[in-house]
Chains A and B, each alone.
Chain A
Amino acid sequence: MVIFVIGVVVAILVATAYIGLGTVDFLRIRMELRQTAARTGQATGEDGPMEDAEALDAGRETVGFAWRAVGGVVASVGLLYAVSHLWWSWYALPALALGTGVAVSVAFVIDPTRTS
């Protein structure tokens, strides 16, 4: 029961951070679009800066991608191996499911394209 209660508390904290950071990001995007519309005088039909796509170094962006893909496979197989042999490792799976919410929250914060 203690584990469950800890899980609920963590879930509430994760959800709060997630929704809060998502709202902040939404408002930032809205402000960005309004600034663009005010600058160009157009309706909000303008794309984000296209020079970003043109400057994209496809080779550099995909460096190490295969290792990351393999890493995900190894990690998930490793977890399942643990689940198949160690009963206490079963708690890792709900913890990681909560981690999904943490990961998205972190993504809101570390977005390298944020201008504000």
Chain B
Amino acid sequence: MQLFDMPTASAVILHASHLSRGLGIALMCGLGLFMLGIAQAVRCNLVRTTHDFIIAHRRISLGFGVGSVISVWTWSMAVMLSSAEAFTWGTSGLMWFVVPNGLAVVALVPFAVYMRKRMPRGYTLIQFVRQRFQNELATMVMFLGVAFLLLSTVFINLFGVVLVTGVIFGLNKTLVLLLTLAIVMLYSYFGGLWTSTITATLAALLVSTPAAVVVLYVLYKVGGPHAVFSRVDRLGSRQFDLWRGDTAAQFGLSLGLGLIAVTICDQSFWQRIWGMRPQNLARTFVWAGWWFYPIPLCLGLLGLVALGAGVQPSDLGSFGAGGVGPYLVSHLGLPAVVICLYVLTVVTACYSAMDGAFSAISSLVAVDIIKRVVPDISEKKLFRLTKLSIPVAGLIGTVVVNSGIDYVSLVNFVFFVDIAFVVPVALAIFWPRYSSSAFIAALILAEAIGIPIRQEVSGLWGIIACLGTSTIVSVGVSLLSRERFDFGRLAEATSELSAVDPPPRPEPGVVPTDAPQTA
């Protein structure tokens, strides 16, 4: 028996493995039941109050922190897009997809550490903006940016499950959408951030380990990496050209810049930042970023295998290059258990990302809506309404994805819009002279300039315009003002959901002498 598989002369023969629809549904439901069991165990042992539900006692450990951050960032589309980009662009596509993804997580370290230091008892990014600027318009704009991003996370992950189950099992799109939403809403409802953290940590295992097993078997099945390498090499030098310029121009640069915006505006991350032990923050995000890399890198090999196997874009039908991973796995004659492991990887990635988004939405609802509208609400009612926000968010998701609108384009648009928030949020955290007027002006002008350029010229130039405008306006307007924010005021703010009474609010019309002047 040879240690390394040697190349064979025969070509790879592709034929469909006809797996039953029932198997696909069983996989989805089985995983859901398993996660529901975990959620129940978590709820019974760790969750009693709204505070427990949305911030996990601020006691998330290093292991659960690293595992859940990896998992929340491993979207189902990321699992399949890595194969797609390798199939389309060769190893340069894989590089431009994977590297910014991992970097975006590590780049959160200074934001996480400084925010936690300045606002140790926080819950949401919107709460930070509200206390930082004391300006309702700024708060509203931030809320919309964060809320739409969370809903977009739900949509894009739903698309991933539809894709994989459609290609492999031929499952009906509407059935998959409704089943996925129902499953994730059900177990998210029980346990909040603790459930999300612990199921996501399990999901990190269920995504990384099966991915390795599936890829190893696929490599064996096609004659080993030497055989694939030789076949792909014969297709032309560009497949293994890491530095090809067209990859960067066509999608690499815009994806890279866009991903940074997603992590900074993603309440799924901020919720964990405030839910973790502070000493673990830096290490959590560094480790999570580093150990996220291997997952899409490993699965990206499927794209190269597909190239070597002679898969053509026309074979992939309406799903396009995104379907290359599922197509390859279901057409190589792999054992059903290996195919199911691949499906498990994608479906788990979807469930964990959606669960993270639902948990984050519940924190927004509790802190930024309910407690603002009804500050004296009883803990019991608050807890009930907070949990209810999850099925409501799921219902919104159901309506949107079944409406027939092109929600993939909608998601891309929301990601673009959120790019305008990167510089303002960063400056709000680090620069005491950054004013509320600068924040609002930067966001409005960045969108007003960036969106038309995106429509008329290109996405990349739109991103550059957006970032450039938000930077120039943010710095310029702030320098014109003499405001200087005392970050110590954030640390004094009492936890909004704690048992301790909040400090008395100022009388209307009376401005505290040390408050910044608002726009």
Cβ-defined contact, A104 with B294, below 8 A:
no
Which chain B residues have a beta carbon within 8 Å of chain A's beta carbons? 1-5, 45-49, 51-52, 55, 57-59, 61-67, 70, 90-91, 94-95, 98-99, 102-103, 106-107, 109-110, 113-114, 116-117, 120-121, 198, 201-202, 204-205, 208-213, 215-217, 219-220, 225-226, 228-230, 240-242, 277-282, 286-287, 289-295, 297-298, 300-301, 304, 491, 495, 497-499
In the bound complex, how far is the Cα of B491 from the Cα of A54, in angstroms?
A: 8
Central interface residue in B1, B91, B216, B297, by most chain A CB within 10 Å = B216
Chain A's closest residue to B282 (CB) is: A61
In the bound complex, how far is the Cα of B64 from the Cα of A47, in angstroms?
A: 17
Q: A56-B117, A90-B219, A98-B212 are in contact. Are A108 and B297 (CB under 8 A)?
A: no
Residues of A near B1 (CB, < 8 A) are 1-2
In the bound complex, how far is the Cα of B228 from the Cα of A106, in angstroms?
A: 34
Chain B's closest residue to A42 (CB) is: B499
Cβ-defined contact, A112 with B280, below 8 A:
yes
Cβ-defined contact, A76 with B99, below 8 A:
yes
In the bound complex, how far is the Cα of B277 from the Cα of A69, in angstroms?
A: 22
Cβ-defined contact, A76 with B102, below 8 A:
yes
Cβ-defined contact, B208 with A56, below 8 A:
no
The smallest C-beta distance from B202 to any residue of chain A, in angstroms, reads 7
The 3 residue pairs across chains A and B that have the minimum distance between CB atoms: A108-B63, A53-B120, A96-B294
Q: A69-B289, A85-B240, A97-B298 are in contact. Are A44 and B52 (CB under 8 A)?
A: yes
The size class of the interface chain A forms with chain B is 35 or more
Contact indicator per residue, chain A 81-95, by CB within 8 Å of chain B (1) or not (0)? 101110110110111
Cβ-defined contact, A7 with B113, below 8 A:
no
Q: A61-B113, A69-B289, A88-B225 are in contact. Are A77 and B95 (CB under 8 A)?
A: yes
Cβ-defined contact, B211 with A2, below 8 A:
no
In the bound complex, how far is the Cα of B282 from the Cα of A76, in angstroms?
A: 20
Cβ-defined contact, A65 with B205, below 8 A:
no
Residues of A near B219 (CB, < 8 A) are 3-4, 90-91
Q: A8-B213, A47-B495 are in contact. Are A53 and B201 (CB under 8 A)?
A: no
Which of A7, A30, A77 makes the CB contact (< 8 A) with B99? A77
What are 15 of the A-B contact pairs (CB < 8 Å)? A1-B220, A11-B209, A26-B45, A26-B198, A30-B45, A56-B279, A56-B281, A77-B99, A85-B240, A90-B229, A93-B300, A98-B209, A101-B208, A109-B63, A111-B280
Q: Is the interface of B mostly helix, strand, loop or mixed?
A: helix
Cβ-defined contact, A18 with B205, below 8 A:
yes
Q: A29-B59, A45-B48 are in contact. Are A104 and B117 (CB under 8 A)?
A: no
Residues of A near B209 (CB, < 8 A) are 11, 14-15, 97-98, 101
In the bound complex, how far is the Cα of B150 from the Cα of A92, in angstroms?
A: 34
Chain B's closest residue to A69 (CB) is: B106
Cβ-defined contact, B49 with A43, below 8 A:
yes
The smallest C-beta distance from A60 to any residue of chain B, in angstroms, reads 9
Chain B's closest residue to A57 (CB) is: B117
Cβ-defined contact, B277 with A84, below 8 A:
no
Residues of A near B120 (CB, < 8 A) are 50, 53-54, 56
Central interface residue in A22, A25, A72, by most chain B CB within 10 Å = A72
* Docked complex: A47-68 residues within 8 A CB-CB of B: 47-48, 50, 52-54, 56, 58, 61-62, 65, 68
The smallest C-beta distance from A106 to any residue of chain B, in angstroms, reads 8
